């Protein structure tokens, strides 16, 4: 790994790294916040945050204001990029496809398949890199919007890897919204039988209870609410007995001011999941 920057923050360190990814076939970047306990060599809970459309590895560390609670509770925060980058990478025809919009799956269609392998990157390569490079106790997963979709689907697909999961305004039933239909048809092709493997609502219906609890926060003034479908995910969880805490918030929208407002609760949720 190449250390790009290192900044003192709440008695810990906010770092950014770049490494050559064999899975992606290109260099990838990620942010990491190391609390004082981690710097002292103690094993810590790791919380991976998957960001949403148009974001990168810097968005969460700069905008979410999570470092103080992570410092207080001894939590390592990881913020990977949302897609491969570079001139050789397919760009897409709009902001919700291509760079900045990897959707945390492994694409099977051209020209996306060679580099858009974000599921394997997160669950295999980055996961192993974190375990081998830092003092890891256990790993939890959370995300926002497209990253909330990623957090839910990757946790449900790989419950052996992630001990807890939460999301903020996730795309919870992508097969039922324009964002998901566009992404799945572009990256996975026309065969919709492959789409259900990346739809959180269908996954929980198929797999049943996997976690002691799942936390989701949703703003009711979110202009994308008709794309997110938290009610469908809630109904699926109720049907199979998967405990879910879905908190609906009046006045809040889809942005990072909302994320800041609930971030402390999410970090505490993951810490308490390991008690």
CB 267 within 8 A of CB 47: yes
Token code pair at residue 239:
């049907």
Task: Give the separation between CA 28 and CA 222, rounded to whole angstroms.
Answer: 31
254 is catalytic: yes
Q: Which of 144, 254, 266, 270 is an active site residue?
A: 254
Of 91 and 256, the one with more pLDDT: 256
**What is the dotted CATH code of the domain comprising 2-272?**
3.40.50.1820
Q: What is the pLDDT of residue 98?
A: 94
Q: Which of 83, 199, 222, 270 is an active site residue?
A: 222
Q: What is the pLDDT of residues 198-248, one digit of tens each?
A: 999 999 999 999 999 999 999 999 999 999 999 999 999 999 999 999 999
Q: Which of 145, 198, 266, 270 is an active site residue?
A: 145
145 is catalytic: yes
88 is catalytic: no
Task: Give the separation between CA 116 and CA 31, rounded to whole angstroms.
Answer: 20
Section 33-54 average pLDDT: 97
Q: What is the pLDDT of residues 165-178, one digit of tens each?
A: 999 999 999 999 99
- The pLDDT of residue 274 is above 80: no
Selection from 250, 257, 248 nearest residue 65 by Cα: 257
CA quadruple 195, 197, 198, 204: dihedral positive or negative? positive
Q: What is the pLDDT of residue 275?
A: 63
What's the pLDDT band for 159 if we cut at 50, 70, 90?
Answer: very high
């Amino acid at each position: 790994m190449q250390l790009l920057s290192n900044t003192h923050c709440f008695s810990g360190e906010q770092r950014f790294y770049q490494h050559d990814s064999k899975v992606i076939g290109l260099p990838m970047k990620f942010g990491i916040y190391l609390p004082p306990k981690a710097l002292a060599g103690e094993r810590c809970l790791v919380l991976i945050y998957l960001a949403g459309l148009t974001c990168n590895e810097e968005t969460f560390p700069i905008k979410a204001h999570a470092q103080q609670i992570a410092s207080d509770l001894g939590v390592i925060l990881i913020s990977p990029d949302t897609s491969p980058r570079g001139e050789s990478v397919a760009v897409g025809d709009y902001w919700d496809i291509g760079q900045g919009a990897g959707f945390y799956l492994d694409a099977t269609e051209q020209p996306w398949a060679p580099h858009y392998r974000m599921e394997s990157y997160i669950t295999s390569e980055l996961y192993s890199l974190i375990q081998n490079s830092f003092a890891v106790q256990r790993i939890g997963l959370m995300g926002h919007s497209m990253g909330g979709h990623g957090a839910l689907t990757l946790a449900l697909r790989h419950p052996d890897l992630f001990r807890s999961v939460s999301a903020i305004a996730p795309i919870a039933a992508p097969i039922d919204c324009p964002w998901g239909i566009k992404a799945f048809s572009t990256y996975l092709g026309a065969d919709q039988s492959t789409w259900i493997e990346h739809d959180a609502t269908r996954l929980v219906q198929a797999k049943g209870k996997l976690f002691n609890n799942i936390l989701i926060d949703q703003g009711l003034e979110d202009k994308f609410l008709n794309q997110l479908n938290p009610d469908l995910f809630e109904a699926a969880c109720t049907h199979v007995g998967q405990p879910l805490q879905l908190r609906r918030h009046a006045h809040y929208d889809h942005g990072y001011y909302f994320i800041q407002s609930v971030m402390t609760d999410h970090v505490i949720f993951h810490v308490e999941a390991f008690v």
